[in-house]
Amino acid sequence: MAKQVTTVSDEGYSATNEIRDFETTVDANGEAAPDTLETLLAAYGSCYVPALRVGGQQRGADDLGRIEIDIDGDLNDDDKLESIAFDIRVEADVDDDTGEEILERAFELCKVHDALKDGLHAEASFEGDAF
């Protein structure tokens, strides 16, 4: 199985992404839509939520209830992502040791976390005069 997205930009730094029957916009400048790094952080947090829920179930916390994640992405001098921090709050009463076990398991389960590996790099082809 594969995932497929089509990204289109007619001009400027904004792009429309066609994902199945959905459409999203990303603006590298962050003026007309979330920027690329904000979108990456949102995808990471959105992936981590179900990973937390499954990790919780696997570690004895069957229902975490409401989950909120504040995600901070620190940038280096070149405005590239240098580090990411999650501040996670859950509704359920979970002790610190169990919470750490849930966090560890959620990182193992999170597909976006896995995709951020150093070795994952897009293979690319280029075609001029295509339109």
Same domain (yes/no): 47, 93:
yes
Same domain (yes/no): 80, 62:
yes
Same domain (yes/no): 51, 105:
yes
pLDDT at 26: 97
**34: CB partners within 8 A, 6+ apart:** 26, 27, 42
Same domain (yes/no): 96, 52:
yes
pLDDT at 43: 96
User: Could you give the CA distance from residue 37 to residue 44 in angstroms, rounded to a whole number?
Assistant: 10
Same domain (yes/no): 39, 25:
no
Same domain (yes/no): 109, 45:
yes
Per-residue confidence of the chain (131 residues) as pLDDT tens digits?
999 999 999 999 999 999 999 999 999 999 999 999 999 999 999 999 999 999 999 999 999 999 999 999 999 999 999 999 999 999 999 999 999 999 999 999 999 999 988 877 778 787 877 77
Same domain (yes/no): 73, 92:
yes
Residues 108, 111, 115, 116, CA torsion sign: negative
Domain around 15: 1-34
> Please, what's the b/e burial string for 79-94 (b: 16 or more CB within 10 A of its CB; e: otherwise)?
eeeeebebebebeeeb
pLDDT at 49: 97
Same domain (yes/no): 108, 65:
yes
Concatenating the DSSP letter of every residue in 47-102 gives HHHHHHHHHHHHTT-----SEEEEEEEEE-TTS-EEEEEEEEEESS---HHHHHHH
Same domain (yes/no): 40, 94:
yes
pLDDT at 129: 78
